[in-house]
Amino acid sequence: MSQDTILNWSSKPATRKMMSAVGLPTPQPLRRSEGPWGTEPLSGRNAAIAGQGSAGLVALVEAMGAEIVESAPEDGVLDVLIFDARGVVDASGLRALYDFTHPRIRSLGRCGRLVVIGSPADAATTASQCAAQQALVGFTKSASKELGRKGSTANLLTVSADADAGMAGPLRFLLSARSAFVTGQTLAVSTAGDAGVWTQPLTGKTALVTGAARGIGEATARRMAAEGARVLCLDIPPESGALELLAEEIGGVALGLDITDEAAAKQIAAAAGGVVDIVVHNAGITRDKTLGKMDAALWDLTIEVNLASVVRVTEALIESRVVPAQGRVVLVSSIAGIAGNTGQTNYAASKAGVAGLTRHLGRALQSKGIAVNAVAPGFIETRLTQAIPFSIREVGRRFSNLNQGGLPVDVAEAITFLSSPGAGGLHGNVLRVCGGNLLGA
């Protein structure tokens, strides 16, 4: 059961009705997938599709198991709406987006999906086209706020010229229950990448997950193992007990190591047997104080653990070719690094730095086929958030479009997707897993 009392109450029809009557928030319990990926994540669901590339999209979505429909069936419920707006070149062209979504949006069912497909605004050849494509961002963010009460999501997928082949993986993720806590976001497909493997996609891969003993790191290690990876579970020596238990349960390797150790990269390479196909930098700390009260030691430690060691280890693994061509690097930023937070100048600086590192490495390593991306979690239900005072914790939960906090598995699902072959067309994205949190929106 969730730690969120209001969410637990709202999951019961009788209680939900009473809560609504007295004006309490009524978050919709989210539909999440369990177990390994399947080839047809939309089996038993329907989808309405329109726009420029609708014919190709139909084939992609049918391969996911969905039934293609024009409008809501007899039960009045649509599960998926997709509009390809790449053909919109001026403001008047946006009317087609309205004409498609307006008569259908109220039929989108609980935990439904709206995905808009566009072109990168900065690649536009005219001012009108740039304006029209950027308008899709505002549309999608606003739609995500309107749909949040249903537990439904809205996201934008931008696709560069000649990168259509890289769209299948991101589209599959955004349409599936694996993206339950991702809404109001933009994912940019910049290269064709790989069409993707949808059953045990990480089989034969070695994955490093730092900070693996608990929380998001543990959930990520478990998800990656479920998709076939051999997981190198790294955490500080004091967490060795939990680390060894996790590694034993998932068939991985426990590595008790401080990531700030100057020899960390060499020790990781040795433990992995010389090849790390997937690097996930999840380890991080908070040392919160307002700037005037923060001593240099708290600043230095936070920057070293959260940023400097990430730069140092990642560059060493890439330069030594421990991360091979077609490898994946997934870094963990935070919405604090996007929006800032009182008492967290050190933490926010470090996580903003991670976002900058992601964008640089994404561009620099694209030609080698190495995809570097990041996730930026929002309010996630962990033992750390449970220690937050009740009133602040409640605000954190209700600040999202989905009116609730996320779970560690929500971040793990995004990391696992970004580590997969199907994410090969994504380079330098910072994907917020925050339920559309208002902070930094």
Which are the contacts of 385, defined by CB distance < 8 A and separation ≥ 6? 379, 393, 396, 405
Q: What are the angstrom distances between the C-alpha of 254 and each of 25, 244, 416?
A: 42, 5, 19
Which are the contacts of 404, defined by CB distance < 8 A and separation ≥ 6? 2, 4, 7, 27, 30, 397, 398, 435
Which are the contacts of 242, defined by CB distance < 8 A and separation ≥ 6? 213, 214, 218, 235
| Burial class of residue 392 in the structure, from the number of CB atoms within 10 Å of its CB (0-12 exposed, 13-18 middle, 19+ buried) | exposed
- 217: amino acid identity, one letter: G
Query: Measured at the alpha carbon of residue 201, what is the angle toward residues 195 and 207, in degrees to the nearest 5?
Result: 120
370 and 321 Cβ atoms separated by less than 8 Å: no
Which are the contacts of 17, defined by CB distance < 8 A and separation ≥ 6? none
380 and 355 Cβ atoms separated by less than 8 Å: no
Query: Order of strands, edge to edge, in the sheet holding 278-281?
Result: 253-256, 230-235, 206-210, 278-281, 328-332, 371-377, 430-433
Scanning the structure block, which residue is given the tokens 């934008």? 156
- Give the up-direction half-sphere exposure of residue 280: CA atoms within 13 A in the CB hemisphere: 34
Give catalytic residue positions: 347
Q: Give the Cα separation of 82 and 58 in Å (integer).
A: 10
